[in-house]
Amino acid sequence: MTRKYFGTDGIRGAANSEPMTAGTALKVGKAAGHIFTRGNHRHRVVIGKDTRLSGYMIENALTAGFLSVGMDVMLVGPMPTPAVAMLTRSLRADLGVMISASHNHFEDNGIKLFGPDGFKLSDSVEHDIEALLEHDDVPLAGPAKLGRAKRFEDARGRYIEAAKSTFPKHLRLGGLKIVIDCANGAAYQVAPTVLWELEAEVIPIGVTPDGFNINKDCGSTATDTLRREVVKQGADLGIALDGDADRVLICDEKGQIVDGDQLMALIGQSWKRQGRLRGDGIVATVMSNLGLERYLEGQGLSLARTSVGDRYVLEHMRQHGFNVGGEQSGHVILSDYVTTGDGLIAALQVLAVIVETGKPVSEVCRCFEPYPQVLQNVRYSNGSPLEQPTVRQIIEDGRIRLGKEGRLVIRPSGTEPLIRVMGEGLDSGLVNQVVGDIAGEIARVAAI
């Protein structure tokens, strides 16, 4: 049986431990390079990374693997994940690679692969790569056909201009004071530059990476620093990116965080007004708030829900013709512009609405009142607690108690031995009670 390397978002793990070792990265380069060598032209791959210490090791190992099968390598250094996807397509490369573990701390790293169209690889292609990794029998290039590696110095400028081009030509950010937190990650150079060139007053934080501080007390998963700075500076808003800049959260002038659900509602409603919205709605996951669904219904729009993971959102968007989708966590996918989540480009669409309305961010970005939502995680070591009759019964009872104005989502985590119990409804006390009862029964059964 072929070993599973790829998760829901590439290969990921603790740096210098399997599968995130130099040896495995070398094999990934060879395997992916072999599969994407199609035709007689000179093949090339774009490799970007975030700012983790282990990025140097993984980058060099991947490079060696690609070169060994005759593929040329274009190194772009620290760049956002969506920038690597964009450059892969723009440069007519055969493959793109992003070295990042997204919002995780520096101890972890990961490898994300993009096809020549700029989209993440399909499950079947990932399986083909895994099969080659297992046997490590990829044919190598002869001495005269080895690849060449070079730094692509123009990468940063290309992405900056591409991002700026998504902002309406007749608008500028002059007069707005913006704090941007780049999480000491991949966007630390490009994101403040884009905002400044669009004439905003920019206060950058999280822009001093040292290999260890990516996502540490900063970025979209730790927003306290951003919130304090927005209030302290009297800024109009704050923007929080994560380590590879594919997700974004907004902070209003009062220091309150606006999540991905609100951002999708705002962009969806704005694009509908402009006649740009496709699919008559947006795509989100089962974790998005019921308040978002009700808001969209009131706007004559639909909410299509998918499994958790931005790849599932994107798949549904591509299959059914939507151009706005994302996750509550801040992955916002705008397929008119990008092939994956892009925190900066999503923020620019929000800023366009703010500039056009001239209203405070706290007013513009709060489209709906979220339903009270409660999430509890239950750890288990073996067995299948969700298959037990008593657990099934208490879940069914909970659905009945919450009624039509409530919702339950109970699912195993895709990355940890956890069962996630999420409930929402109009009555926060009832939601807490229902979620607590279900989590308690799962924990009881799991302990037997």
Known binding-site residue numbers for Mg(2+) = 102, 242, 244, 246
Kindly compute the dihedral angle of the four CA atoms of residues 360, 251, 87, 55, in this order, to the nearest 10 degrees. Answer: 160
Q: Where are the alpha helices (DSSP H) in 136-259?
A: 155-164, 190-197, 224-233
Tokens of 185: 């990650």
Q: What angle do CA 42, 47, 50 make, to 5 degrees?
A: 175
The position carrying tokens 């774009």 is 46
Q: What angle do CA 265, 363, 299 make, to 5 degrees?
A: 35
Q: Are 446 and 378 in contact (CB under 8 A)?
A: yes
Show binding-site residues. 102, 242, 244, 246
Q: Where are the alpha helices (DSSP H) in 15-54?
A: 22-35
Q: Give the three-class secondary structure for 27.
A: helix
Active site residues: 102
Dihedral of CA 307/309/311/313: which sign?
positive
DSSP secondary structure of 72-117? EEEEEEE--HHHHHHHHHHTT-SEEEEE--TTS-TTEEEEEEE-TT
Residues with Cβ < 8 Å from 33, sequence gap 6 or more?
43, 45, 65, 66, 68, 69, 70, 71, 95, 138
Q: What is the 3-state secondary structure (H, E, C) of 261-309?
A: HHHHHHHHHHHHHHCCCCCCEEEEECCCCHHHHHHHHHCCCEEEEECCC
Q: What is the distance between the alpha carbons of residues 163 and 159, in angstroms, rounded to a whole number?
A: 6
Q: Where are the alpha helices (DSSP H) in 107-217?
A: 123-135, 155-164, 190-197
